[in-house]
Structure 1
């Protein structure tokens, strides 16, 4: 199980900050646990500004929404960013996560942390299902000042 964590570089371009195999440690007999990502503040940190259009999820900072997303065969979403921290799992199929640094092929079981960065989704000839937990984030400091 791979975990992809996104962020922005010094030029504000979205990219994969880290890609690691999730380690699941045995905590007790028959019980293992791995932590692919955690925040240390509530609400989560402000999202980056983004240059693609914003999709306002209508989720206040710290509020949670859990969704299942179906992407049909040969589909592609427009490049966009959101006002949320998204914790996504590929439930079935494969999908390309398209960032400014290129496309990243995700397979069943892969985990993605989208930190509000510019991104798009692109499927191949087969559909894909994602499980997504969205957590509202504060706006970037530049938006606060407006």
Structure 2
């Protein structure tokens, strides 16, 4: 499984900070596990903020919402950022994650961590379905 983690560069622009295959460790016969991402604090670290408009998800820091998002064929969202740490899995179809450093193709089975950075979505020709776990984060400058 491909795992992409977003962040910001030295100029505060949204970008991919890590992009690689998830390694599963064999723990017992027939049982393997991998950890694509983990936080070390609760609530998660404060979001970075962004230049694009904020979409307020209404999730207090540390609270969680799990949702499924469906993007129609060829649909696009405007550039935005959220007040959450988003753990997303492409369930079906394909989608481009558009960051300040360009568009990144994601296909079924790919994982992405959106750390409250500026981003947009551009669905592929068959659309896309995503599973998204959103975790509320403190505003910029409010470290836990």
With normalisation by structure 2, the TM-score equals 0.97
Aligned to 1:79: 79
Mapped partners of 1:10, 1:26: distance in 2: 38
Instruction: Give the number of the structure whose residues are more often strand, by fraction.
Output: 2
Aligned to 2:99: 99
Aligned to 2:33: 33
Mapped partners of 1:127, 1:105: distance in 2: 13
Aligned to 2:51: 51
Mapped partners of 1:54, 1:8: distance in 2: 16
- CA shift, 1:124, in A, is 2.4
The answer to whether the 8 Å contact 2:93/2:124 transfers is: no
**Alignment gaps of 5+ in structure 1:** none
With normalisation by structure 1, the TM-score equals 0.96
- CA shift, 1:123, in A, is 1.1
Aligned to 2:61: 61
The alignment's C-alpha RMSD in Å is: 0.7
Mapped partners of 2:23, 2:138: distance in 1: 30
Q: Does 1:11 align with 2:14?
A: no
**Alignment gaps of 5+ in structure 2:** none
